[in-house]
Structure 1
Amino acid sequence: MAFSDQIKFLAAFIRNPKHVGAIAPSSPALAKAMVDDLQVPDTHTIAEFGPGTGPFTNALSDRFKRENRPAHYLGIERDENFIQILRNRFPDMNFVHGSAEHLPTYHSQSKLPPIGGIVCGLPFASLPIVVQDSITSMLNDLLQPGTVFRTFQYVHAYPLPTAIRFRRRMKNMGLQMQKRKVIFNNIPPAYVLTWTRSGKLAPINTDPQRELAKA
């Protein structure tokens, strides 16, 4: 992790601790746990909430290159300083300056393929309830059968009422949760949490001849 990134992240935390929620960027170990086994077809888009200085984005970019898959990606970041960093570091990726609850609008404007997975770096335990509810309501409409939503919660924050409320709300929407063992090589240590809605993603026809035949 670059020292300059740590300084920038700490400065962002001081400016807006409720939205940043941590004093340091996520570690490579947490980024690997968040990204490597994410089951999203290369015909679908992966969205990211709160990429910050880009640890998860970097892991996704590496995976796209390693698997020779198209960079169907849309990152949503609130901090203008982070947006500039992200666009400079990942010129082939799509970033929007805005709020996660507006993902459907940003996605429609991007002309990217349907969303198959979301990687989330937002600190739900520290977000205001009204923001938490607006994001989860959006997810309830967006997460079709087979779509994956993955986030993390710090070990010390996991039992907080706001964190419990978030997990209960996701459960009440009919989503199934899986919790991975603690990632200790992160500051602070964190659980990786994955939610899915039962079923499979609708296939996307990529054969142009069949598309012309339907027209």
Structure 2
Amino acid sequence: MPHRSQKAGGRVNLVDNARFIRQWIENPRLIGAVSPSGRALAKTMAGFVEPKQDGHIVELGPGTGPVTQALLARGIAPERLVLVEFETRFCHLLAERFPGVNIVQGDAYGLKATLDGKLPGKVATVVSSLPLLNRPERDRVELLNQAFELMGDDGLFIQFTYGLTKSPMPMHAHGVKGAYVGKGSPPIVLNIPPARVWRYRKAGHAGKPRA
């Protein structure tokens, strides 16, 4: 017989799925998925974050918070998390679920302007669940460049994608070619649909993304 906490967790997942479906129907280009990231995917993304590294962790597009929860379980203190979320309803939900985290409502693709005057300190890592493949290359390139302007040369940008064959960041586009190195994880088949996690670093800084 399932434990009470498992039943409660199942109900939460169903409610979160319903929220995602509603938002996806209203704006499929913005949401990009009909359900939140699965536990295996969220854990994989959080696993590439170094808890002992100085600086804040900026999460883009947290939605209902599965990756946020995994980052907290990884040992990241709530006050080190800065969540950038566009949807008002998700912002309210995140504030209820994760007291102590920093929530900024705004457009992640205009990251520097959105975070202007709202960053509590240095940024070490950016963790993104944005649906990059829904956006043109120029938007993705600009996002990556803005993220590294905030993080500095030793920063790490983490992104998941449902595309299993190539980087969601256009690594050979104008403004990116030769500037960054990227590495994808093995397919996460426990996620529905299967996904991969990509890590990007500045070329020549802090080595290549670790496996």
Q: Residue 132 of structure 2 aligns to which amino acid in structure 1? A: F
Is the contact made by 1:74 and 1:107 (CA closer than 8 Å) also made in structure 2? no
Counterpart of 1:199 in structure 2 is 205
SS in 1 for 2:83: strand
| Superimposed CA distance per residue, residues 157-214 of structure 1 (whole angstroms, 9 cap, x where no aligned partner) | x56xxx66634347516111111100011121111100011335xxxxxxxxxxxxxx
Taking structure 2 as the reference length, the TM-score comes to: 0.81
Is the contact made by 1:41 and 1:116 (CA closer than 8 Å) also made in structure 2? no
Q: Which runs of 5+ in 1 are unaligned?
A: 201-215
Q: How does 1:45-124 map to 2 (within 5 A)?
A: 45-64=56-75, 69=77, 71-124=79-132
Counterpart of 2:3 in structure 1 is none
Is the contact made by 1:29 and 1:186 (CA closer than 8 Å) also made in structure 2? yes
Q: For residues 164 and 34 of structure 1, what CA distance do their matches in structure 2 show?
A: 15
- 1:35 and 2:46 matched: yes
Q: For residues 180 and 38 of structure 2, what CA distance do their matches in structure 1 show?
A: 27
Is the contact made by 2:78 and 2:98 (CA closer than 8 Å) also made in structure 1? no
Is the contact made by 2:158 and 2:198 (CA closer than 8 Å) also made in structure 1? yes
Q: How does 1:8-27 map to 2 (within 5 A)?
A: 8-27=19-38
SS in 2 for 1:192: strand
Q: For residues 164 and 152 of structure 1, what CA distance do their matches in structure 2 show?
A: 8
| Offset, 1:82 | 0.6
Aligned pair count? 193
Q: For residues 17 and 190 of structure 2, what CA distance do their matches in structure 1 show?
A: 16
Distance 1:90 1:21, change over 3 A: same
Q: How does 1:165-180 map to 2 (within 5 A)?
A: 166-169=170-173, 171-172=176-177, 174-180=179-185
* Relative contact order, higher structure (CA 8 A, sep 6+): 1
Q: Residue 25 of structure 1 aligns to which amino acid in structure 2? A: P
- 1:127 and 2:141 matched: no
Distance 1:18 1:93, change over 3 A: same
| Superimposed CA distance per residue, residues 38-92 of structure 1 (whole angstroms, 9 cap, x where no aligned partner) | 2364420000110000010111112236xxx563111101111111110100011
Distance 1:173 1:101, change over 3 A: farther
Q: Which runs of 5+ in 2 are unaligned?
A: 1-9, 207-211
Taking structure 1 as the reference length, the TM-score comes to: 0.79
Give the RMSD, CA atoms, in angstroms.
Answer: 2.4
Q: How does 1:178-189 map to 2 (within 5 A)?
A: 178-189=183-194
| Offset, 1:144 | 1.9
| Offset, 1:145 | 1.9
Q: For residues 34 and 113 of structure 2, what CA distance do their matches in structure 1 show?
A: 30
Is the contact made by 1:46 and 1:73 (CA closer than 8 Å) also made in structure 2? yes
Q: For residues 176 and 40 of structure 1, what CA distance do their matches in structure 2 show?
A: 22
